[in-house]
Amino acid sequence: MTRGRREPQIAPRLASPRPQIPSVFITITVAPAAMTEASNPDELRQREATSSSRLPAARSLARERVMPLALAQLQDLGDRLSDRLRPWSRSAQFWVRAVDIYTSYKVCQLRAGFAKDEEEREAMWEQQHELGAQKMYSLCSELGGFFLKAAQILGKPDLAPTAWVKRLVTLCDKAPTTPIDVVRDVVEKQFGKSFDEIFGFFDVEPVGSASIAQVHRARLKLSNTDVAVKVQHPGAEKLMMVDIQNMQAFALFLQKHDINFDLFSTTKEMEKQICYEFDFVREAKAMERIREFLRLTNKKPPVIVPRVIPGMVSREVLVMEFIEGTPIMNLGNEMAKRGIDPGGKIATMAKQNILRDLTLAYGQMILKDGFFHADPHPGNILICKNTEVALLDYGQVKAMPEDLRLAYANLVIAMADDDCLRTKESFRDIGIETWSIADNELEELFQLSLRMFDTRLPPGVTVMSPFSEDSSLNKIGVQSFPEELFSVLRTIHLLRGLTVGMGLTFSCAQQWKPIAEEALFKSGKLKAARSRRSRRSFVRRLFC
């Protein structure tokens, strides 16, 4: 059987339409020919000469008008590409440097394990700390942003090696500054007024610059009042979010391989706090709330809180009263200038008064009100006349839930009384979940509580690093930590850094015990806590 052969169907060929020539081309090509035929040779030469003389002028005009426009467009395109690529470049720089620092420490740890004696190991670690400090300083100072905040935490004398402290403590107020013309633009845009209408004097050099904003001293034109003007760095918020995401990823890696602590939850809480820091209206409200609370709670407030200038607050600019004082990190040098021995009795008494007032203010804020300043690093603390303490920068504040505030008050009493069993119960009530490989779990848990929530150091201990061989985190791991409590943890660690830096031994838990008892008493929970403590004492007398 044969199949019929189908003839291929061929589409009929359409006549190609004649291309339409734009009239402008016809004008350009035909008109000169017509003109040539109609003109005599002398007239033609004259026109050619005129055209030739106009050509350089036309080229010059093109250079003046077209070239700058093209360059501006190229510059704009380059800026947009740079903005798009900057987060990626920043992330790459962070990971290259962070991995380099981490790897160098792991290699040193491996080499130290083969060292023959303790002196050799110590020498290896000292050399490594110097190298690590230099690399960390470069990372924080060159990338800036969130890493300047990381430097504030890592530069504490009770947490980091001495080499790190010496390098990182200098970064407290050393962030890159925004040019004055940009500052003027931000202020005028936020307040809708000319810069010169607002200020009679404005110091172009900032008093200090941090990762989010810089502060200038100025004088208001109408009232002739000296003020501090806090101006946000343009574009800082976007970069900070990139930084914190990288830190969260690194925290997950560290808690999986090296540190038995829930680091990720702490970085999540930091992310929340950093978002709040970019809203100066919120900061102004927080500053006024804390200022009023301390005024009503005390006959004389233990710390000075700046007063916000009414009507001079926006999301990116905050104007407040200017407070004269010496940064607490420069206190020793200031004493030496005045002929006071920084290690003598007078200096020690002054330091104790400073620390007592600062710690009292924090105890009242945390345990009584549950709303507190959560960023007491040295750059935010000024020492004024008669050793009065001024507390600056309310971008990071924290409101504690009522149940968490009372549970933490119970932990404070347990630490002050050296009560191991009550400490364990308080950890459970707060929501801190732990696992243990220690034989003496209660004692190790109590030591961990002191490392986390008290300013005192155990006897003979000068550094409370989680990497140290004697750290309780090597025996008791923290697998879950409430995000809301991280600000308390960070605050206490910064206070401990000040304590160690001043060369003092001081327990905030012991000073806060009366405040904690008052908080529990007002809530009706102190009586129940005391009855449980009595039952525990009875059981100990029977079986211990």
* Separation between Cα atoms, residue 480 and residue 430, nearest integer Å: 11
Q: Is the pLDDT of residue 536 over 70?
A: no
More confident residue, 88 or 131: 131
Q: Is the pLDDT of residue 65 over 70?
A: no
**Overall average pLDDT of the 226-235 stretch:** 95
Chain center to CA of 389: 23
- Beta strand 433-436 pairing with 199-202: unpaired
Is residue 111 included in any domain, yes or no?
yes
Note whether 231 and 316 are within 8 A (CB). yes
**Overall average pLDDT of the 305-333 stretch:** 94
Q: Is the pLDDT of residue 242 over 70?
A: yes
Give the residue among 295, 296, 302, 293 at the shortest CA–CA distance from 360.
302
**Overall average pLDDT of the 86-108 stretch:** 92
* Separation between Cα atoms, residue 194 and residue 427, nearest integer Å: 55
What is the token pair recorded at 538?
A: 């009875």
Structurally, the chain folds into a number of domains equal to 1
Range of the structural domain that residue 141 is part of: 76-171
Note whether 168 and 160 are within 8 A (CB). yes
Is residue 67 included in any domain, yes or no?
no
Q: Is the pLDDT of residue 29 over 60?
A: no
Q: Is the pLDDT of residue 136 over 80?
A: yes
**Overall average pLDDT of the 441-465 stretch:** 79
Helix, strand, or coil here: 142?
helix
Is residue 347 included in any domain, yes or no?
no
Residues 6+ apart with CB under 8 A from 400: 366, 370, 371, 372, 408, 484, 488
More confident residue, 262 or 133: 133
Is residue 289 included in any domain, yes or no?
no
Give the residue among 416, 418, 452 at the shortest CA–CA distance from 434.
452
Note whether 504 and 331 are within 8 A (CB). no
Model confidence over 264-304: pLDDT tens digits? 887 887 888 888 899 999 999 999 999 999 999 999 999 99
Is residue 280 included in any domain, yes or no?
no
Is residue 246 included in any domain, yes or no?
no
Is residue 179 included in any domain, yes or no?
no
Is residue 146 included in any domain, yes or no?
yes
Note whether 383 and 326 are within 8 A (CB). yes
Q: Is the pLDDT of residue 22 over 60?
A: no
pTM of the model: 0.74
What is the token pair recorded at 523?
A: 């809530």
Model confidence over 473-487: pLDDT tens digits? 677 878 888 888 888
